[in-house]
Structure 1
Amino acid sequence: MRIRSIRVLSGPNYWSIRRHKLIQMRLDLEDLQERPTNTIPGFKERLEALLPGLWEHQCSRGCYGGFLQRVEEGTLMGHVVEHVALELQTLAGMKVDFGRTRETSTPGTYNVVFEYQEAEAGRFAAKAAVYLCQALVDGEDYRRDLELDIQELREIRENVRFGPSTQALLDEAALRGIPYLRLNKGSLVQLGYGVYQKRIEATTTEKTSIIATDLAADKRATKELLQDMGIPVPKGYTVRRRSELAATIEDVGGFPVVIKPLNANHGKGITVNITSLEAAEIAYDAASQYSDVVLVEKHLVGDDYRLLVINNKLVAVAKRIPAYVVGDGRSTIQELIDEVNRDPRRGFGHENVLTQISIDDMTLRILESKGYTLDTVLPKGEHCTLKSTANLSTGGIAVDCTDIIHPYNAFIAERAAQIIGLDVAGIDLICPDIAQP
């Protein structure tokens, strides 16, 4: 088989009124034009063993196993490539199910059309499906290549897909019948068309002040302004050199402290509950990888809450819990992490509601501070935290607390958003109990 061309369709098209995101691959079957699947010994068995999920493809039969019936009775390879491309994307966490295969005016050349979620992943799936089908025709073992293909699709998806905040907005837009158009490779999106169109970039809207955005990105300036306006913030100072650490820690009131980059997000480079100068120097090195200026703050004891304020009104509250494992007296920490990651709710990147726990420098630093390694067997019932931050992207979990927040705490969050000037604001609050003022 030979791929003649691959086109990405991202708007209304010939193939579907409703499905606008389609890959159109022009595929020359060459010698396979005269070899339907029922004439290739063992092809159906090898295909079904490699991709058992194809049993769910109903195809024109309208029932489970419908596509595999077509393969058994005899269908051309272009049709098989269509379904394999769909299944590869589904296995990589991108559920798609629409496809069409039609012969062109050139005998033996077909338009293989299938749905995609991310264009780059769709292009890759088209090529991978052709290679996979050809390998099965030739009787080759494709299992290892299949694993590599699926992982490659996952990585492509994570590199190009919208972040969870943007995707949540677009999912809601779709429910409301609002069309959207991606305007760049990042998170710049147009909602609607014509005179009523609106543009967003992640959670930045057309009404978001650029001054507020720049202010929120500067932790030091944000803290100073909030403090001047009577909002409680942890005492802290910036440092530019390791030699300044000891004096700065004394200025904030001594240990324990938190050390973080001045300009970073998603919990990068943050270390909390530091209780010694040696640990502080290690934390400084970690933070300085993300920013030339490092922030040293007094460590606050309490739970980590994320409050969402939109148009100066609190709309949601989540208690964020860092990634952790609980000992059973038999398993090592590594084995406990592997067991947690087998939870079907956890996936690679943001493909599921939870993210798999990764082992990074932050994890190793925390374990070292406790005298543990990944090979340590935790006593039964011992709770071992693996991250300094509670971000979902690092394996943390979230508990909805919107209904229990005390009105005073809600007022603080709404006032903080007004002071900074953001129309959409995510505010972190550390306190022992969100239900108490």
Structure 2
Amino acid sequence: MKILKIQALRGPNIWSVQRKKLIQMRLDLEEMEQSPTNKIEGFRERIEAMFPTMIEHRCSEGTRGGFFSRIERGTWMGHVIEHIALEIQTLAGMETGFGRTRETKTPGIYNVVFSYTEENVGMFAAESAVAIAEALIAGTEYDVEGDIQKMREIRERVRLGPSTGSIVDEAVARDIPWIRLGTNSLVQLGYGINQMRFQATITCKTSSIAVDIACNKEQTKRMLDLASIPVANGGICVDEEDLEITVKKIGYPIVIKPLDGNHGKGASINVVTWEDAVSGLAYAKKYSHRVIVEKFITGFDFRVLIIDNKLVAAAKRVPAHVVGNGKDSIQALITETNKDPRRGYGHENVLTEIDVDRDTLDLLEKLNYTVDSVPKNGEIVYLKSTANLSTGGTSVDVTDMMHPENIFLCERISRVIGLDICGVDIMAENLTQPLKENGGCILEVNAAPGFRMHLAPSEGLPRNVAAPVIDMLYPPGKPSRIPIIAVTGTNGKTTTTRLLAHIVKNNGYKVGFTTSDGIYVQNHMMEKGDTTGPVSAEYILKDPTVEFAVLETARGGILRSGLGFSRCDIAIITNIQEDHLGLSDIHTLDDLARVKATVVRSVKKDGWAILNAEDDQCLKIANELSCNVAYFSMDENNPTIQQFAKEGKIVAVYENGYITIKKGEWKIRVERATHVP
């Protein structure tokens, strides 16, 4: 078998308007076209042994085990590859379920289509599925687990982080469109002039001065101290001389951490000797030239999340640890703990796997342990000095236990520093008493705090902390979209697009439009060339000056990667004529109509499809639409137009030199045709 082409569809497409993320693989079965699965000895047994979970694939049978029944009766390899591609993605932790396999007009060549969650993973799954199928046919060994791990690694490299992902998910739930800007976590919500941007948990509303203050731990501490907020005693050190002065002033035990650190990197906790203090200083200096030395406060590590100056969640963070059983070594206990299904690779799960690093070995050394030591039954052995989730820590939700005095304190801190999304780290025995009573203090204030510990705590209630972010960016009544008119057809698209853009501009909107000769914003040509595909549409929707989009949409872009927008307000098909047939599996007028129909099928429920009443294909398409439909014709005596007008449908005609709109018995003359430039 031979893969001829793999492409990713990213918007409404010819296979589905709802399922926007599809991989389309063009596959030549070669000699396997003559060998359906029932002619390959032992094929069913081998695929069932390799993928026992495929019993859940119902296939067209609609019953559990339906796919295996199809294999038993005989099905073609393209269909098998579609199911393998879906299954290996699911096994790698990416739930997908939609697939289609269709033979093209060329015998033995199939389009294998399946859904994906991460595009790069979907591409890899297509190639892997073909290789797995070939191994199953030949009855040879195949390292499926290796491919699944590779897919997890690709996903970790390209996916949005848990915080960014949660905000995107909340936006999608509220029908707010989003575009990823580049390959990192920078995301645009909304279109055109109504867009908002964010990266991780920094938004376009976040003050850069506030971020600078939060990143400067010394400045933060000074400002909090001046605002009568309890902070730990200490100072900034750059060498051993500074360290000695600070230790004399505050006494042991101390905490040493880099001034510009994050995720707990380079920190040493509960240091009680001069030797440990010196090595802690050297460790912290790997991450920052200047180092903070503070009094070590005993208690628990709490993180409080404030969004838009209101408390939304609080969590108690517990450092990565194991509990002894009197039998197993620390290394064996770590291995067992990492088997928890909630722990995963990187950010893929609620918790991160625990790894052994310098910090772990230092802590064990203080206890006179190594990784091979066997702790007593019930003994808790801490493996990290900080409670960050990214180092294997766990979190317990304590939002509902916070004392009102502490809520007031944290909300005030967010205003003192000036952050719209603010993480406050507190060390205290508990948050149920005011900090001034239990001796707790503020350790630091974080810009871009992680959401993972609140979204899915190890214990306690999960909190939807992404919702207040969207509430802040899009308060009730603020739109996220801009009006979109999409124009497709065989002839007249560019003229129609230009005319519409002219009408829209004359109605006071800043208009962006794409045509086969370039991209325009407010009649200024931004890019020259044929710009009728999804990339050009996205260009307009990304432009923060555009209030209204008119997009010429040609078939090439639809076939290549789908539409560049999730839905439009108005879609127009000028006509469907025999043009460029024989390219990209488009051999007949019906094939061409199916491609063009993608545009009108993406119109929102209360939007309008505008169709050519003189075109039989357009009339056929109209029957499958769930939006409003209006028709046009050059001939007011066209029987179809007369019939539609009688039925009370809205029609536009050219009569007596005028462009005229008709409904039932009445008509409005819009303009004399000669007056239209």
Which bracket does the TM-score occupy, shorter chain normalised? over 0.9
**Candidates 421, 430, 440, aligned match of 1:433:** 430
Q: Distance in 2 between matches of 1:167 and 1:112?
A: 29
State how 1:20-419 maps to structure 2 within 5 Å. 20-142=20-142, 145-241=143-239, 244-251=242-249, 253-419=250-416
Distance 1:99 1:300, change over 3 A: same
Give 2:39's aligned amino acid: T
Corresponding residue number in structure 1 for 2:441: none
Offset at 1:306? 0.8
Give 1:49's aligned amino acid: A
1:256-290 C-alpha deviation (Å, 9 max, x unpaired): 11122222322222221122222233333332332
1:342-371 C-alpha deviation (Å, 9 max, x unpaired): 222222222222222222222122111211
Q: Distance in 1 between matches of 2:343 and 2:240?
A: 38
Question: Greater CA deviation, 41-50 or 309-318?
Answer: 41-50
Give 2:69's aligned amino acid: Q
Offset at 1:244? 4.3
Judge conservation of contact 2:302–2:317 (CA < 8 Å) in 1: yes
Q: Distance in 1 between matches of 2:83 and 2:280?
A: 50
Give 1:178's aligned amino acid: I
Give 1:424's aligned amino acid: I
Distance 1:218 1:73, change over 3 A: farther
Offset at 1:314? 0.8
Q: Distance in 2 between matches of 1:106 and 1:240?
A: 73
Judge conservation of contact 2:254–2:271 (CA < 8 Å) in 1: yes
Q: Distance in 1 between matches of 2:235 and 2:99?
A: 58
1:191-235 C-alpha deviation (Å, 9 max, x unpaired): 233443322211112211111122222222222222222222222
Judge conservation of contact 2:11–2:17 (CA < 8 Å) in 1: no
Q: Distance in 1 between matches of 2:242 and 2:140?
A: 63
Q: Distance in 1 between matches of 2:23 and 2:240?
A: 53
Question: Greater CA deviation, 376-385 or 160-169?
Answer: 160-169
Identity among equivalent pairs (%)? 55
Cα RMSD of the aligned pairs, angstroms, is 1.7
Give 1:204's aligned amino acid: I
Offset at 1:69? 1.7
Offset at 1:380? 0.6
TM-score normalised according to structure 2 size: 0.62
Offset at 1:243? 5.7
Give 2:204's aligned amino acid: E
Distance 1:42 1:250, change over 3 A: farther
1:306-326 C-alpha deviation (Å, 9 max, x unpaired): 111111111111111111111
Q: Distance in 1 between matches of 2:105 and 2:213?
A: 60
Offset at 1:54? 1.4
Give 2:117's aligned amino acid: Q
Give 2:390's aligned amino acid: S
Q: Distance in 2 between matches of 1:272 and 1:159?
A: 31
Give 1:382's aligned amino acid: E
Q: Distance in 2 between matches of 1:305 and 1:243?
A: 32
Q: Distance in 2 between matches of 1:127 and 1:318?
A: 43
Give 1:359's aligned amino acid: V
Give 1:248's aligned amino acid: T
1:393-436 C-alpha deviation (Å, 9 max, x unpaired): 22211111111101111111111111111111111111111000
Q: Distance in 2 between matches of 1:67 and 1:284?
A: 62
Offset at 1:254? 2.1
Q: Distance in 1 between matches of 2:64 and 2:268?
A: 51
Distance 1:399 1:20, change over 3 A: same
Distance 1:277 1:138, change over 3 A: farther
Question: Greater CA deviation, 404-413 or 25-34?
Answer: 25-34
Q: Distance in 1 between matches of 2:349 and 2:137?
A: 34
1:31-81 C-alpha deviation (Å, 9 max, x unpaired): 222211121122222222122221222222222212222222222122122
Distance 1:57 1:282, change over 3 A: farther
Give 1:364's aligned amino acid: L
Q: Distance in 2 between matches of 1:354 and 1:234?
A: 29
- Secondary structure of 1:308 counterpart: strand
Q: Distance in 1 between matches of 2:86 and 2:289?
A: 46
Give 2:134's aligned amino acid: Q
Q: Distance in 2 between matches of 1:281 and 1:398?
A: 31
Question: Greater CA deviation, 425-434 or 240-249?
Answer: 240-249
The structure with more radius of gyration: 2
Corresponding residue number in structure 1 for 2:538: none
TM-score normalised according to structure 1 size: 0.94
Corresponding residue number in structure 1 for 2:641: none
Q: Distance in 1 between matches of 2:341 and 2:150?
A: 20
Offset at 1:242? 5.1
Give 2:176's aligned amino acid: I
Q: Distance in 1 between matches of 2:279 and 2:127?
A: 46
Offset at 1:24? 1.6
Q: Distance in 2 between matches of 1:70 and 1:436?
A: 65
